[in-house]
Structure 1
Amino acid sequence: TGVGKTEIARRMAKIVGAPFLKVEATKFTEVGYVGRDVESMVRDLVDVAVRLVKDQKKANVVEAATQKANDKLVKLLVPSLKKKASQNTNNPLESLFGGAIPNFGQHNEEDEEEPPTEDIKTKRSEIRVQLLNGQLEEEKVKVKVEQDPGALGMLGTNQNEQMQEMMNQLMPK
């Protein structure tokens, strides 16, 4: 007792990526034992294994997620120039409702950005370096998050997806 068998087993499990669960099983040999049964121990072991796999999957995407978040922050701090929206409206209802009617199947020009100029690319690379060095940790950035209106109750999950998408575009953002 006390020589470190459990710690050796724990470290070996960590090295090979196997789940580890410490269970006191010597009480099973006692007469009249009332306590955890084998099924609960196996269930706990499976829970540990599932948590281990989830942690590994999360670790696999951390770098890519961090890169995407940094790219988004850099674009917010140094935005590109927006293309000017054309004043010609193809939708007559748009003038009545102040542009609240979405253009189904048409390209929305207001959201387009011009390709970044060399000056913007240079500023973005400088900001990216500052961001990676932690110099912008206290910088506040406003992010406009559009809420997904979700699925409408009148359309089932097996209905036409295009109809669902058009109905979602009608919902306010």
Structure 2
Amino acid sequence: MADALRAKQKPLKDTYRADPSSALWQRWAPKVAGLHQMAGGDDPALSGELCSGDMLLDALVACAGVTLKAVATALGIPIKSGVVRAEGDLDFRGTMGVDKEAPVGFTDIRLGFELKTEVEVEDEKIERLGKLTERYCVVLQTLVNKPKLTVRLAGSAETEDGVDRGFVWGQRL
């Protein structure tokens, strides 16, 4: 399996080395987002809307799991089964504007893995699996190393005289 993955990734890596711009990717991911129940939102099981904080943790779990599986394959660690969990702490006083001193966003995030391997694996190999998974997990590294962010708000409003007036706000964080 490790050889098959390496063979599949080799032409991609060669292309990225030869032309670094070919390794850049942009994605727009539309989802139906809603307020968390602790912020006045409906039960997601009923509304179908997902809290953005839950989406962030789901993205971390998905990325970490896929990364771990790829790294395990490359290291020759046969994984029989596994569970990836992420949990985080939010203080809704900050999010809801109740307390200006309370933080907005997660203050702590915990990522954990529970694995069963098909054979016994040396501690050193497990440690390497953990370190490489952490190093190559895109979502984890994005959280650890804050990217340059641009926020832009654009739209229009129809005035009483029937004229569409546009507005734009933006800043680089």
User: Per the shorter chain, which TM-score range?
Assistant: under 0.3
So what's the TM-score if we normalise by structure 1?
0.24
Is the radius of gyration larger for structure 1 or structure 2? 1
The TM-score with structure 2 as length reference comes to 0.24
Higher percent of residues as strand: 2
Say which structure is richer in helix. Answer: 1
